[in-house]
A and B are shown apart, each in its own frame.
Chain A
Amino acid sequence: MHTLLNFFIKHNHWFLFLLLEGIGVMLIVQFNNYQNAKMFTSANSVAGNLFAAITDVSSYFALKSENARLLEYNKELNEQVTALQAHLAQQEDSATVAALPHKANGFFYNCATVVNNSLNAVNNYITIDKGTADGVEAEMGVFCNKGVVGIIYTASEHYSVVIPLLNSKSSISCRVKGSDSFCTLQWDGSDTRYSYLVDLPRYTKFEVGDTVVTSGFSSIFPADIPVGIIERTEDSDDGMFAQARVELFTDFATLRKVYTVGNEGRKEQWELENSISKE
């Protein structure tokens, strides 16, 4: 006991030192906001790191079920994306179709997307993704934002084949804007950018730079859908008619979205015309 007391007395400066430092630290923590905050955040980060480490380890045990849950969630999200995309496409289609002209004149429109296209043959064909189920039938017109594309050749339930202007069988009734005489547009099978107006009466007045539009006579297309611009004029081989090289508005190489146009009165007109020729 005596030795212990002696020890304390001998080393009393240690206790004073600790006491004073303790008071100092207490002052620091109590009165100084910055240190106060630091003390608390440090304490928190120690606890936080501990919890983070525990979570790191324990999370491995749940990885499998977590994975399954994520896959399921992914599937749901994918389904939602697909549904929303379809909905969006539908909205766009109806919006553009509603904006098209001549709706009231017996013409009805459909929006379609090109799914197959060829350019390099003499007889090119285009396949679009709308068929009889969408009201698309053979002999209906097809055009795009820039100009005429062609005519439906045949239609299945969900797809249709189009004879575009770039087909030697294609023959579209046209007219030079500003004159009333009509003529026929035919392709010569060479350059996909140009087609030819043939059988122009020699008295027809037209010049380079005139715009060629649909005539509206065939009832396949409404009148005045743009086709192209006259690029060069020349005589036909036999000299009886004039003909003109037309630069087409439609860029068939990049064709993507097209519209089909049908005419409610077309069948009646066709039957009527046929009945006359039979007699």
Chain B
Amino acid sequence: MTSNNLIRIRNFVILAFIQVLIFSQIHLFGYATAHIYLIFLLKLPRFTSRNEQMIWAFLFGLVVDIFGNTPGINACAATAMAFARGYILESFTQKGVADDFVPGIHTINVAGYIMYATLCLLLFYTVLFLLELFTIHYPLTLLASIAASTLLTLLFTLVIECFTRKK
């Protein structure tokens, strides 16, 4: 458990660095920004307590916010995603499976994982861009940003998923 947490903290720091130093600086076509730190939240084991998930998400979002000068926005969006993630994951888990598995293309199949990640990311970006624009007066910009960022982050998620070792 302790080693598990240490690994998590290590992953946390690495992902935070990559996110803040590289991915937060990229705004593809002015719409798409990848938030790969969400992989950390997507890959939390199935039975991680919801409170723990939310606290991790909040802290991670806050770190990204502090470095990105957007206090609260990422924290809110990530917390919302962490809150909903359990429900989404359950709907893609085959019945009768009682394992405390880590979501991935090997544990729930490829299509399931893509759907699970897409839904989580959609929720995250909807909250994120609503808070960032703080208006619904530009629905096209809003939708374009949500769609583009979701796709981009999903792409990175899948790439990283393919290169991680199967446990």
Contact yes or no, B58 A25, CB < 8 A: no
Q: What B residues does A29 contact at CB under 8 A?
A: 72
Contact yes or no, B79 A17, CB < 8 A: yes
Cβ of A83 under 8 Å from chain B: no
- Complex interface residues of chain A between 10 and 30 (CB less than 8 A to chain B): 12-13, 16-17, 20-21, 23-30
Contact yes or no, B131 A28, CB < 8 A: yes
Nearest chain-B residue to A37 (Cβ)? B134
Q: What B residues does A17 contact at CB under 8 A?
A: 54, 79-80, 83
Contact A31-B71, Cβ < 8 Å, known A16-B54, A20-B54, A38-B134: yes
Cβ of A34 under 8 Å from chain B: yes
Contact yes or no, B51 A13, CB < 8 A: yes
Q: What A residues does B65 contact at CB under 8 A?
A: 27
Interface centre among A12, A16, A30, A31 (most CB of B within 10 A): A16
Cβ of B41 under 8 Å from chain A: no
CA separation between A20 and B76, bound complex, in Å?
7
Cβ of B75 under 8 Å from chain A: yes
CA separation between A64 and B131, bound complex, in Å?
48
Cβ of A32 under 8 Å from chain B: yes
Cβ of A35 under 8 Å from chain B: yes
CA separation between A35 and B58, bound complex, in Å?
19
Partner of B76, one of A16, A24, A31: A24
A46 to chain B, nearest CB (A): 14
Cβ of B36 under 8 Å from chain A: no
Q: What A residues does B79 contact at CB under 8 A?
A: 17, 20-21, 24
For the A-B complex, the count of residue pairs with Cβ-Cβ distances under 8 Å equals 60
Q: Give the size of the chain A interface in residues (CB under 8 angstroms).
A: 20
Partner of A26, one of B72, B80, B131, B134: B72
Q: What A residues does B49 contact at CB under 8 A?
A: 13
- Complex interface residues of chain A between 49 and 89 (CB less than 8 A to chain B): none
Q: What A residues does B70 contact at CB under 8 A?
A: 32
Q: What A residues does B71 contact at CB under 8 A?
A: 27-28, 30-32
29 contacts across the A-B interface (CB closer than 8 A): A12-B51, A13-B51, A13-B83, A16-B50, A16-B51, A16-B54, A17-B79, A17-B80, A20-B79, A21-B79, A21-B80, A23-B58, A23-B75, A24-B61, A24-B73, A24-B75, A24-B79, A25-B72, A27-B62, A27-B65, A27-B72, A27-B75, A28-B76, A28-B131, A30-B71, A31-B71, A31-B72, A35-B134, A39-B134
Nearest chain-B residue to A24 (Cβ)? B76
- Complex interface residues of chain B between 49 and 90 (CB less than 8 A to chain A): 49-51, 54-55, 58, 61-62, 65, 70-73, 75-76, 79-80, 83
Nearest chain-B residue to A34 (Cβ)? B134
CA separation between A13 and B49, bound complex, in Å?
9
Cβ of B135 under 8 Å from chain A: yes
Q: What A residues does B54 contact at CB under 8 A?
A: 13, 16-17, 20
CA separation between A25 and B61, bound complex, in Å?
13
Closest 9 CB pairs of A and B: A27-B72, A24-B76, A28-B72, A13-B50, A31-B71, A27-B71, A24-B72, A24-B75, A20-B79
